[in-house]
Structure 1
Amino acid sequence: MSDDCRGKASWPELVGARGVDAASTIERENPFVSAVIVLEGTIVTQEFSCTRVRVWVNTSGVVVDIPVIG
């Protein structure tokens, strides 16, 4: 993660939460990022962004990995 990113950078407490709730929490706790819900196994680009947090969810919509800026 870059030292240039602002605000809270990771949310380990959200693993196991509903993805939509996690995304809302992330955006409330760090207004500098947008949370994007992504189904696990989906292919995504690898570029780093200080304004994005990917929220990886399973087919039930539950967060399966720690959301982090990137």
Structure 2
Amino acid sequence: MYGKWPPYPPCVNDDCTTRPCCAGEYKYAWPELVGKKWPEAEATINGDNPYVTCIVIDKAMKGFGDFCCNRVYLYVDIQGPNGVVKLIPQVPLNPPPTNLLSQPPPYSAMSPAFVKSASGSDDSARSASVE
């Protein structure tokens, strides 16, 4: 195959417009994983729902802004060791909330050590200067 793989899993909805529709018989939210290290959280999610892909991003960043049944964002604290999950991992809302932290934090927003997938856009490398 020539070219590159998509930077994150292609969006799949199967005509669903709600998280319960997406999940079917599987889970779509994991509140019990807040405070856990992201590798442990990812393993739990993959065991509970084999149809989703975990995307690890900094807790201050937004996801990709689209509703996809096959994505779960793990919002982690990249400044701590092993990245602790800070927000409930779940299939994104439809439509996504607009009030999530919209400004980049005053440090490099994403760390290659903790990011498994990046959008490939400027959002994946945003940083702001500290004044």
TM-score by length of 2: 0.50
What is the deviation of 1:43?
4.0
1:27 to 34, 46, 50: 46
Identity of aligned residues (%): 34
Contact in 2 for aligned 1:55/1:65 (Cα 8 Å): yes
**Structure showing greater relative contact order (alpha-carbon pairs closer than 8 Å, 6 or more residues apart):** 1
Deviating 4+ runs (over 6 angstroms): none
Q: Secondary structure at the match of 2:47?
A: helix
Structure 2 unmatched ranges of 5 or more: 1-16, 93-131
Contact in 2 for aligned 1:20/1:37 (Cα 8 Å): no
Tell me if 1:5 matches 2:22: yes
Instruction: Give the aligned CA root-mean-square deviation in angstroms.
Output: 1.4
In the alignment, which residue of structure 1 is the partner of 2:87?
Answer: 65
TM-score by length of 1: 0.89
Aligned length: 70
Q: Which amino acid aligns with 1:9?
A: Y
1:15 and 1:35 map into 2 onto residues whose CA distance is 14
Greater C-alpha radius of gyration: 2
